[in-house]
Structure 1
Amino acid sequence: MLILRKLLVVRGARRALRYVLMLLAFAVVYALYTSFGGDSAGAAALRFSPLSALAAKNVPYVFYTALFEALAEHRPPAGPSHAADLADSECRLEGNYGLNDLDKLQQLSWHNLRHCYRVSDEQFAALRDSHAGFVRALDTTVLPRIDSLVDVGSRGIVTVGGARYSVLLLTMLAQLRNSGTTLPVEVFIPPSDEGDDEFCEKFAPSFNARCVRFSDILPPHLVSSLDVKSYQIKAMALVMSRFEHVLFLDADNFAMKDLDGVFDTEAYRDTGLVIWPDLWRRVTAPAWYDIANVSVDLDTRARYCYDDVSPVTRYQKQGADARAADSRVPFHDLRGTIMDPASESGQMLVDKRRHARTLLLALYYNIHGPAWYYRMFSQGTAGEGDKETFVSAAHALGLPYYQVRTPLAFDGFHHDTKAFQGLGLLQHDFQQDYALHARIQRQMQARHEEYARYDPGYNVEASFKEPFLKQNGPHRDVEVDVMFLHASFYKFDPWTLYDQDCFMTGKTHEHLRGYRNQRRYDFFDFELFNFRTLQRYLCNEDSAKNMRAFRYLDDKVSEEDWPRMCKYIDEHVRYLEQHPVEKEKH
């Protein structure tokens, strides 16, 4: 009472009351958080000491406290010790499924997938209730506070830096500006990876980018105890960004054309969320649709993989039973499900105000992903992690999104002692794809009777992609441009490239060219550009221009190894300059 009396005298009744209420509020939040123990992998990310937030100044701690209170209050039950135990003896899943694995379609059916991720009645009820509770909390306690956290009308690119990612951003940011893109960039640095001051203070600003530390935005009590890792960081960065219109890019994802106009496109304006495809079929468990209260019509087929334009009668006989044990109808071809293929989240466009609920539900999926949702969405297939959380969140909330139909392509080479090295994923121009999709719809409608006839030999590659997506002559794989090159294998991390003898033959240990599909991006020498960038900033003849103050490189590269690494980079630059790719004769 003595403290309260002093506050009344010195600061006035209103201010005193506000401080008392704040103390009480944080005491309640503290009690709530400490009551949520359990062994869920998301629990560690939710522990904090809220009383220290009183020291925070100019930080939107009210919103983030409400958000993490909702994440904790509606946390699902502890996850299984071994996710594989959720599959019963009738499950038949065999790794990854390509878009044309026609002999395995039965394994993608509802009948099979429901055997591959089964939860108990008790677990199902808890998962369903916690999911519904969090969605309710978004509308009642979290969302009313979010508008003040977005700069209305702002546009920009969001990425994640720190540790190895800061090194990867040397080439990513250089190519971004080389493409003609001028959008500002926010580089989010998680608490565990702070410390690359030279990168943040010199390199990033020279490319119209700025580092954003979690401590710049989150209350101190959250920063000190928040334990987000790996895929969870991307979801946090998207929530914390001040941009209203966001293009997210992984640190190893490169702009292959000017991106300044992406937010002015019809595809973006119509939906506010654009998702790109992965290489594989989708295997999301039917259980998720029930947990998220998403209605699926198990008796009605809506499409064949990414062909949602052809009449269903073109590829399916009347009377096919999608629920039958011998059904060859993939579950994700049914009405109400998310369309194939799976998602690849190395790039994403999102309107934060329009899709605020999407991003917050995606954060929920990521915080509780290791315990439940990552496995539920991907069932142990390639790239399991955050990649399905964003499209799944939008789908669960009934919000619009556009999935790029044009399948991804590869750039790479056949190694002399190893298999094909798929170095980069080529993702396509979403607006060109959107316009092409609309044109195909018009073509199908104009010739409906022809395409409605049953074709027993229908194949999505030969019957849809080849005649409709490859219409621009023999020198182009598809009609739409390459917009992004996701260098997910052989990342442009100079130490790893040198240490693992990347871009070199196995038998003779000679340099070779890895990226050979340059016709897809107007014969721009992507590989040479990136090696020159590494040479310029890490191995410059003028030692004063070298950037060596990276925590990641300090840990990896010894004083003796640094000149060897630079020798490798110099030699590869020289090799590429002496062996350019010849342009095809038309």
Structure 2
Amino acid sequence: MFNRKAARFVYVAIFFVAIYFLAVGPWRETANSLRLSYSLGNKEQVVENPTSDGGNVITDHNIPAEQALTENPPTDKDSEHLAAERLAADKLAAEKLAAESTTKSAAKQVQTAVSGSGSDSANNNVASSPLTSTEDDKARYEHIHSLLPIFEKYRPKMEPLHKYKDDKEAPKKAFTDTIPVFTKEELADYLQVSKEDKDILTKSHRDTVEHLPSNYPKGLFKGQGVVFTSGGKYLPIMVTTLRMLRRVSPVIPVEVFLADKEEYEPEICEKLMPMLGARCVVLEDVYGKEFFKSFDIHSYQLKALSIWASSFEDVIFIDSDNVPIRNVEASLQQEPYLSTGYIVWPDYWFRTTSTHYYDIADIVLGERVRGDLSVTDPKLIPQADLKNALPDKSSESGQLMISKSKHYKSLLLTVYYNLNGFTAYYKLFTQGSGGEGDKETFLAAALALGEPVYQILTDTRPTGRFDPEGFEGAGMLQIDPYEDYKKHVLKTSPKDVHGRILFVHFNMFKLNIRLLFSDKEKEKFSSDDKRVRYCGKPSDNTEWFDYQDIEFYMWREVLWTACEMPKLGINFKDWKDVDMTEMCNKTTAHFKWLEKTHNS
């Protein structure tokens, strides 16, 4: 009897060790038998050690993205196959890692983290993953400050671009529309850029690229971690997202960046964040008040600055309202991240980059390398299909993954684009079309420097619900990168199966209950007969959400922040003037209704 119990204990300990090393271990999985690298717009690709079955050597990243709403949903058989495939792979990896290390310290850390992950609550006692020391921070910030004069010296000194021909911005065309032909000629004609301004921007871009370093001092950035940018009314939303993250990635370190000291909340940063293995960082303290004031840093500009200032070498950036529904750091140990060190996801919109940008960045557009190559009339060829052009779709930066060691210079160029975003680059990249902001700056910087990057080809899908007035969107479903890689590179997964979701970006539905209970949505929380599920019925989303009732789980975390967190003497500034008893009661009522409709 004793031997059987001992064996069971050893097996459980080995399992926890394996999970730990999968999540945060210091090792890095090799690229198995396939190593693929490519650059956007570059027809010549390289594949080393192709698969034994003669895997295709890709000569062009020329695979049309599916139309999201017209794809056939996966059958139960398809879903079972995908789940079985991943389960087998996870088991194999766990066995391999367990054999490599059974250290007591690792087992103890994982058991500590897992013990706080009870089925009825998020990880209230999750182990605080080690973050960098004060000395590490000091060295990193000194390095950052040594580079800030480059951005100051070579900034474009000009008035912001704002004029459009006939006051017409580029039209918004999404995946539900007929594929538009945004030609090179057409996209040169919306945003008006004078010769003087173009010369200023071109010189500024060249000088900046020339002086930015390609590498950083050894050891300056370390390990893997998640980065959030938040503050104010978005902080309650971020905490819900962070608690959801801890359901699937319990120990990966997290850094939350706040713009300035006004957004720093001691109760949240000093009491709650350590409970969740996270810490707060004030961006203004990193870059200095004068630098913030000089560039009037706000809004979209904060994201790139947060990624740069973070202590991590491998960064997973997640928006405050973007919920991960499976382990996120696993993607850092798989293709396509292993080959490229950079992953970006698509937006709904087709690309409307100004042709002037390519001139400014010294990028020469070539012949058509994407789409229907039989069409050669320039009036029928989208600019995005040309060699060296940013390809369709446009980017959605609610999530991205980047290796600083592989892409340090392009990250710095991204910072440059954002510092001068409101002056020029936000309009140059989007021309007033859908989602104008920082979202194109990441991919564009990598393209400008010829750095490898993986652009997800599977279209994002909307999640939401149907009511008598039509479809009401709540968020965007973004695929697991390895699922996309299997479909479009390995070609081992059917294209008519969307693949497993990694992120649900709630870009329309903002889960701050103070706002939900007081604005136009409040009627939906007044009684059970008026309540709605913003993501629709759970039965309609089983494949996309891995058979998880995501909305139910999100509100479970909100229930904790509304009812339990105040008992710890912790509350958000955004909720300070709210009757927390009433807020708790309303949240409880909605959560119980979600529980009753769990199997709908």
- Residue 147 (structure 2) aligned to one of 30, 45, 67: 67
Per the alignment, in what secondary structure is the counterpart of residue 389 of structure 2?
Answer: coil
1:133 is matched with which residue? 207
Letter matched to residue 88 of structure 1: K
1:224 Cα deviation after fit: 8.0
Per the alignment, in what secondary structure is the counterpart of residue 296 of structure 1?
Answer: coil
Letter matched to residue 368 of structure 2: R
1:261 Cα deviation after fit: 1.6
Letter matched to residue 431 of structure 1: Y
Q: Any residues of structure 2 matched to 1:338-353 within 5 Å, and which?
A: 338-353=390-405
Distance 1:344 1:422 in 2: 16
- Residue 147 (structure 1) aligned to one of 208, 214, 217: 217
- Residue 302 (structure 1) aligned to one of 359, 365, 369: 369
1:342 Cα deviation after fit: 0.4
Distance 1:332 1:60 in 2: 38
Distance 1:166 1:285 in 2: 35
Distance 1:134 1:502 in 2: 47
* Length, aligned pairs only: 459
1:355 is matched with which residue? 407
Contact 2:352 2:429 in 1 (8 A): yes
Distance 2:383 2:295 in 1: 37
Letter matched to residue 425 of structure 1: M
Distance 1:491 1:121 in 2: 43
1:122 is matched with which residue? 196
1:510 is matched with which residue? 530
Deviates more, 1:507-516 or 1:155-164: 507-516
Distance 1:269 1:296 in 2: 28
Distance 2:305 2:467 in 1: 38
Contact 1:182 1:260 in 2 (8 A): no
1:65 Cα deviation after fit: 3.3
Per the alignment, in what secondary structure is the counterpart of residue 426 of structure 1?
Answer: strand
Distance 1:420 1:545 in 2: 40
Contact 1:423 1:488 in 2 (8 A): yes
Q: Any residues of structure 2 matched to 1:465-480 within 5 Å, and which?
A: 469-471=495-497, 478=498, 480=499
Distance 1:470 1:409 in 2: 14
- Residue 385 (structure 1) aligned to one of 428, 437, 453: 437
Letter matched to residue 425 of structure 2: Y
Tell whether 2:574 aligns with 1:552: yes
Contact 2:170 2:352 in 1 (8 A): no
**TM (normalized to structure 2)?**
0.71
Identical amino acids, percent of aligned pairs: 30
- Residue 548 (structure 2) aligned to one of 508, 524, 532: 524
Tell whether 2:584 aligns with 1:533: no
Distance 2:280 2:578 in 1: 27
1:49 is matched with which residue? none
1:113 Cα deviation after fit: 0.9
Contact 1:96 1:281 in 2 (8 A): yes
Contact 2:225 2:315 in 1 (8 A): yes
1:499 Cα deviation after fit: 1.5
1:192 Cα deviation after fit: 4.6
Letter matched to residue 360 of structure 2: I
Compare relative contact order (CA 8 Å, sep 6+) and give the higher one, 1 or 2.
2
1:397 is matched with which residue? 449
1:257 is matched with which residue? 326
2:165 is matched with which residue? 88
1:435 Cα deviation after fit: 2.2
2:501 is matched with which residue? 482
Distance 2:269 2:566 in 1: 20
**TM (normalized to structure 1)?**
0.73
Distance 2:266 2:525 in 1: 38
Q: Any residues of structure 2 matched to 1:180-219 within 5 Å, and which?
A: 180-214=249-283, 217-218=286-287
Distance 2:328 2:140 in 1: 31
Per the alignment, in what secondary structure is the counterpart of residue 436 of structure 2?
Answer: coil
Contact 1:503 1:514 in 2 (8 A): no
Distance 2:473 2:563 in 1: 27
Letter matched to residue 532 of structure 1: R
1:4 is matched with which residue? none
Closer/same/farther in 2, CA of residues 282 and 428 from structure 1, 3 Å limit: same
Distance 1:113 1:379 in 2: 9
Per the alignment, in what secondary structure is the counterpart of residue 335 of structure 1?
Answer: coil
Distance 1:568 1:228 in 2: 37
1:420 is matched with which residue? 471
Closer/same/farther in 2, CA of residues 280 and 229 from structure 1, 3 Å limit: same
Distance 1:359 1:169 in 2: 24
Tell whether 2:435 aligns with 1:435: no
Contact 2:170 2:190 in 1 (8 A): no
2:511 is matched with which residue? 492
Distance 1:156 1:425 in 2: 23
- Per-residue deviation, residues 500-552 of structure 1 (Å, max 9, x unmatched): 25385599971111112431112211111121211212224x9524632x222
Closer/same/farther in 2, CA of residues 253 and 356 from structure 1, 3 Å limit: same
Distance 1:129 1:575 in 2: 60
Per the alignment, in what secondary structure is the counterpart of residue 147 of structure 1?
Answer: coil
- Residue 279 (structure 1) aligned to one of 334, 348, 353: 348
Distance 1:261 1:246 in 2: 13
Per the alignment, in what secondary structure is the counterpart of residue 355 of structure 1?
Answer: helix
Distance 1:438 1:217 in 2: 40
Letter matched to residue 345 of structure 1: S
- Per-residue deviation, residues 223-271 of structure 1 (Å, max 9, x unmatched): 7877421111111111111110110011111111112322111211111
- Residue 589 (structure 2) aligned to one of 563, 571, 574: 571
Tell whether 2:317 aligns with 1:248: yes
Per the alignment, in what secondary structure is the counterpart of residue 200 of structure 1?
Answer: helix
Distance 1:105 1:169 in 2: 36
Give ranges in structure 1 of 5+ residues lacking alignment: 1-56, 305-311, 443-466, 472-477
CA RMSD of aligned residues (A): 2.6
Distance 1:381 1:398 in 2: 26
Distance 2:316 2:420 in 1: 24
Letter matched to residue 400 of structure 1: P
1:204 Cα deviation after fit: 1.3
Contact 1:76 1:127 in 2 (8 A): yes
Contact 2:514 2:575 in 1 (8 A): yes
Contact 2:562 2:587 in 1 (8 A): no
Tell whether 2:345 aligns with 1:321: no
Contact 2:552 2:598 in 1 (8 A): no
Per the alignment, in what secondary structure is the counterpart of residue 584 of structure 2?
Answer: helix
1:388 Cα deviation after fit: 0.3
Distance 2:430 2:284 in 1: 32
Contact 1:118 1:287 in 2 (8 A): no
Closer/same/farther in 2, CA of residues 100 and 59 from structure 1, 3 Å limit: same
- Per-residue deviation, residues 205-236 of structure 1 (Å, max 9, x unmatched): 11211112236644576578774211111111
Contact 1:181 1:260 in 2 (8 A): no
Tell whether 2:419 aligns with 1:367: yes
1:292 is matched with which residue? 361
Per the alignment, in what secondary structure is the counterpart of residue 393 of structure 1?
Answer: helix
Letter matched to residue 143 of structure 2: F
1:105 is matched with which residue? 180
Letter matched to residue 389 of structure 2: T
1:171 is matched with which residue? 240
- Per-residue deviation, residues 448-499 of structure 1 (Å, max 9, x unmatched): xxxxxxxxxxxxxxxxxxx95214xxxxxx1x21000111112111111111
Give ranges in structure 2 of 5+ residues lacking alignment: 1-136
Deviates more, 1:190-199 or 1:357-366: 190-199
